[in-house]
């Protein structure tokens, strides 16, 4: 049977939409969040249920088509889309079911975080995730998941109870601590290497209203603020989260006009408690270096989760580099200041997210996420709408990274990486890499799922087998 005939047959078995080059919906359907990525798949299969996912896997296998799996399409390296293969898109599998009695949240494999935030909030629950609500649940979770609740409740994977998956051979499995525990270990940080998650079961955390928002300081104060912050964030109550941003003030509300486009240092806080308690905890920094502006107030958690969405719509040019850090030395702070003063465009930024507290209380081998001893996950992001600025934002991010990398812990968070090669992936998984390669050999021996931060299946000659 020719590929064209196979696609015709597949269309008959598949309930969702199928797009091929030349179809009306194809150009829109092949886009991902990062407009730098321009890949042309042979087929895009928008699945509606598990049966569709199984049909798409079998179709790809039978026809030897490369496979990429897409949830939110946010991956900056564009790993949700491939050239000349099949995109298995789960975005239509976007149900959320909250069970308030067991405090669990069942989430379809194609949901965005805003779907979860919305559905869980009415029950006074939240699942720890990231800081932009249009990000996909699947990609973020499978890489780890770092966000505003990390110090108190850990990474997203630390709140994951069970998954439903379709494997490379088209079979369906459940993975949790009881069933297929090796697979469950691997998917908590190992990305999309092991199969397609069609459903996640999370523990919901009791988070409703938080006191949150940014404080901004002029760059002249940034060194003092960062020196204060590095001590503060390692000792602060875990209910208090705060990430540092080197940023340009957006040209809009709530920022005062005189600050628009000014390069500044920010800390974005999220406190789970009363405003009175938050103010007491933050009094030392307010009296030490008074913020030039702050927008810190009680708000429903989903409001915080979507606060930065308007700054980062889909369709921008996006390039980033990342490292984990165990400390923030005076010399590193100096490098931050040098590169923050040359932020190339107003949407470009650098974020240092704390990954201590609960994240550090898991051991390096409890899940595939290996940097349980890091204090921060840093990311340097070059962003701009204009493709003409691609080189400018890329070279700025690389130069900033080159300056900071010597201060780093060695590896980076997989979800903040471009396609950076096998050595970088090994550095990220450290001692867990060989165990991951063995799990990969068991569940995906032919590396069917390879459009990802790829873990190569161990072979019988490897010491780990």
Stretch that binds ligand FAD, among 130-138, 249-257, 355-363, 395-403 (CB under 6 A): 130-138
Give me the least distance between CB of 193 and ligand FAD, in Å please: 7
Among 104, 133, 135, 248, binds ligand FAD (CB under 6 A): 135
Contact status: 383 vs ligand FAD (CB under 6 A): no
Stretch that binds ligand FAD, among 57-65, 144-152, 231-239, 279-287 (CB under 6 A): 144-152
Residue 206 CB neighbours (<10 A):
11
Contact status: 302 vs ligand FAD (CB under 6 A): no
Give me the least distance between CB of 282 and ligand FAD, in Å please: 22
> Closer to ligand FAD at the Cβ: 39 or 227?
39
Residues linked to residue 334 through DSSP beta bridges, in sequence order: none
Max intra-chain CA distance, the chain:
74
Contact 219, 336 (CB under 8 A): no
Residues sharing a CB contact under 8 Å with residue 18, sequence separation 6 or more, in sequence order: 7, 10, 11, 43, 44, 45, 46
Stretch that binds ligand FAD, among 40-48, 131-139, 221-229, 256-264 (CB under 6 A): 131-139
> Closer to ligand FAD at the Cβ: 196 or 458?
196
Stretch that binds ligand FAD, among 141-149, 247-255, 335-343, 454-462 (CB under 6 A): 141-149
Among 29, 87, 111, 140, binds ligand FAD (CB under 6 A): 140
Task: Report the relative pairing of strands 17-19 and 43-46 from DSSP bridges.
Answer: antiparallel
Contact status: 90 vs ligand FAD (CB under 6 A): yes
Give me the least distance between CB of 287 and ligand FAD, in Å please: 30
Task: Report the relative pairing of strands 67-70 and 86-89 from DSSP bridges.
Answer: parallel
Among 153, 255, 312, 429, binds ligand FAD (CB under 6 A): 312
Contact status: 133 vs ligand FAD (CB under 6 A): no
Give me the least distance between CB of 288 and ligand FAD, in Å please: 28
Stretch that binds ligand FAD, among 138-146, 171-179, 390-398, 454-462 (CB under 6 A): 138-146
> Closer to ligand FAD at the Cβ: 180 or 221?
180
Contact status: 356 vs ligand FAD (CB under 6 A): no
**Binders of ligand FAD in range 398-457 (CB under 6 A):** 415, 451-452
> Closer to ligand FAD at the Cβ: 219 or 299?
299
> Closer to ligand FAD at the Cβ: 68 or 221?
68
One character per residue 196-235, x = contact with ligand FAD (rule: CB under 6 A): xx--------------------------------------
> Closer to ligand FAD at the Cβ: 131 or 292?
131
Contact 107, 119 (CB under 8 A): no
Stretch that binds ligand FAD, among 70-78, 220-228, 267-275, 326-334 (CB under 6 A): 70-78
For ligand FAD, the binding residues (CB under 6 A) are 32-33, 68-76, 79-80, 90, 109, 130-132, 135-136, 138-140, 142-143, 145-147, 191-192, 196-197, 312, 415, 451-452
């Amino acid at each position: 049977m020719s590929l064209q005939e196979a696609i015709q047959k597949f269309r008959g078995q598949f309930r969702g939409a199928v797009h091929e080059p030349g179809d009306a919906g194809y150009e829109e359907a092949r886009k991902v969040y990062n407009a730098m990525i321009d890949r042309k798949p042979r087929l895009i299969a928008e699945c509606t249920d598990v049966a569709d996912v199984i049909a798409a896997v079998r179709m790809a296998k039978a026809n030897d088509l490369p496979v990429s799996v897409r949830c939110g399409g946010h991956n900056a390296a564009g790993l949700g889309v491939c050239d000349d293969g099949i995109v298995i898109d789960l975005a239509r599998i976007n149900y959320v079911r909250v069970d308030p009695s067991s405090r669990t949240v069942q989430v379809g494999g194609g949901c965005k975080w805003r779907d979860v935030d919305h559905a869980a909030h009415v029950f006074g629950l939240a699942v720890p995730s990231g800081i932009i609500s249009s990000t996909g649940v699947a990609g973020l979770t499978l890489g780890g998941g770092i966000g505003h609740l990390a110090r108190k409740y850990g990474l997203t994977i630390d709140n994951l109870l069970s998954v439903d998956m379709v494997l490379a051979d088209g079979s369906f499995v459940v993975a949790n601590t009881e069933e297929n525990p090796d697979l469950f270990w691997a998917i908590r940080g190992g990305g999309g290497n092991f199969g397609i998650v069609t459903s996640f079961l999370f523990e919901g955390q009791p988070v409703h209203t938080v006191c949150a928002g940014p404080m901004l300081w002029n760059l002249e104060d940034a060194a003092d603020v960062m020196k204060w912050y590095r001590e503060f964030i390692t000792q602060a109550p875990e209910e208090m989260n705060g990430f540092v941003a080197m940023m340009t003030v957006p040209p809009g509300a709530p920022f005062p006009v005189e600050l628009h486009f000014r390069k500044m240092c920010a800390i974005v806080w999220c406190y789970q408690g009363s405003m009175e308690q938050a103010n007491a905890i933050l009094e030392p920094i307010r009296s030490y270096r008074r913020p030039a502006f702050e927008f810190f107030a009680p708000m429903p958690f989903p409001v915080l989760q979507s606060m930065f969405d308007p700054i980062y719509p889909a369709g921008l040019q996006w390039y980033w580099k990342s490292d984990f850090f165990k400390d923030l030395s005076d010399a590193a702070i100096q490098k931050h200041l040098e590169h923050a003063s040359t932020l190339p465009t107003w949407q470009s930024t650098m974020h240092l997210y704390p990954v201590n507290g609960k994240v550090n209380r898991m051991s390096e081998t409890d899940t595939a996420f290996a940097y349980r001893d890091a204090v921060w996950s840093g990311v340097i992001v070059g962003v701009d709408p204009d493709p003409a600025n691609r080189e400018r934002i890329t070279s700025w991010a690389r130069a900033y990274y080159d300056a900071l990398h010597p201060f780093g812990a060695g590896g980076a968070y997989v979800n903040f990486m471009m396609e950076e090669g096998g050595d970088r992936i090994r550095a990220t998984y450290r001692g867990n890499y060989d165990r991951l390669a063995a799990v990969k050999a068991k569940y995906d021996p032919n590396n069917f799922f390879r459009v990802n931060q790829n873990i190569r299946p161990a072979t019988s000659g490897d010491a780990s087998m």
